[in-house]
Structure 1
Amino acid sequence: MPSKRVTITLPEDLAPRVQELADDAHLALATYVTRVVEYHVLNQEGLTAMEYWESRYGPLTKPELASADEAIEAARARLRPPQQGSAQQ
C-alpha cells in the first residue's frame, strides 16, 4: 500500500516510551505508530457502525453479542504470534 510521509510530534516524556514499545514489538517506530493508528481507526469505524446499527434496529441481543465476541476472539487468535515451543499448524 502506498504511504505518505508525515511528521508527528510527541511529548518528550511519551516519545521514549513509544520507542520502547516499538523495540519490544521488534518494529521500526514508524511501523509501530502506523499499527497503533490503524487499530484506533478500525475501532472507531466499528463503534460508528455499531451506533448506526443500534439506531436503526435497536441494541444487539445477548446471543448476537456472544456471537460477535466469538468472532473477535477467533480473529485475535489468528493474529497472535505462535507461542514459543508450540508446534506450528
Structure 2
Amino acid sequence: MNNNMKGILATLVVASIGYFLYRKIIVPKSKKVQLIIDKGYYTSGEKNLMSFDDNFINAWYEASKNDAPQFTINNVNYLTKGGRVAK
C-alpha cells in the first residue's frame, strides 16, 4: 500500500468517525426543542422556544430527556414543565 492509499484510508476513517459523532452524539437545537415540546414541557410553540439561549435549551433538553422535575442553570432552578423559575 503506497502513501497515497494510506492517506485516503486515514481520511475515510476520520470522516466516518466524525459523521458518527455528528449523528449520534451532537443533537441539533431543533431536535432538542422538538423533544421538549413532544414531551409536553412547553406549549407556546417551536419558534418561540428556538429563540431561547442555547445553554438554557441544553439544560432543559437533558431534564426533559430524563423526565427530571427541575433543572439548574447559572445557579437558578427551573421547572422542567414550563421552564419557569422554581419557587
Higher relative contact order (CA 8 A, sep 6+): 2
Structure with more of its chain in helix, by fraction: 1
Structure whose CA Rg is larger: 2
TM-score normalised to the size of structure 1?
0.31
What TM-score results when the alignment is normalised by the length of structure 2? 0.31
